[in-house]
Structure 1
């Protein structure tokens, strides 16, 4: 029977696999969009995004196994929602890119917007203190 420690390391291995793919993906999508490399965008949507979804699902399953070995089932529903949201966002990103590639929309507003520095202090020269919560980083929209 697997131990919680084994499951923990397996989860981290799956996370590293995701990050190795995802770490430059947004930058490459933005660069391909800015330089109108439509074929590169199609390749990203058809190969990399499905692979990313597969890796996220593998992490979710490994994380779930570890969670159930070490905690009670209560609380997992929150993580399920977050994993499901992440997979839906990846799919939506692909859908949006294809809307552009196929000419259904003339531009992608989210890629046209000026990039913001990740700095919760609001002062670009201040030290970066990362203590972001899911609620504050899941969207740039401020719904009140």
Structure 2
């Protein structure tokens, strides 16, 4: 028993519903073809016209093949070096007095030695000549 083929209008509808969003779908839905062949031709023509407008009259991206060319990585390597330098610079703390990164503040050769200053809170003065020491008891 042989199955009856799908009616032409059903085939066109199924074809139209199978499209992804794009220029071909838009064009086929705009034209609303009555036959399957007309729907396919409309979709192919829309894709060709879109690609021709985008890439030139040939309908595909222009490519020149001169054989295998190695990729130029010099720019990427330079960027990697720059990023590494910036990252290392963030981790380095420069001492503001001399700008060196080789020592901390207490060991800076340009730093003047600190002289001891009298403390702000002097020790309490002992009472001079208490009664017991004077013998006035």
> What TM-score does the superposition give when structure 1 sets the normalisation length?
0.22
Larger Rg: 2
Using structure 2 for the length normalisation, give the TM-score: 0.23
The answer to which structure, 1 or 2, has the higher relative contact order (CA under 8 A, 6+ apart) is 1
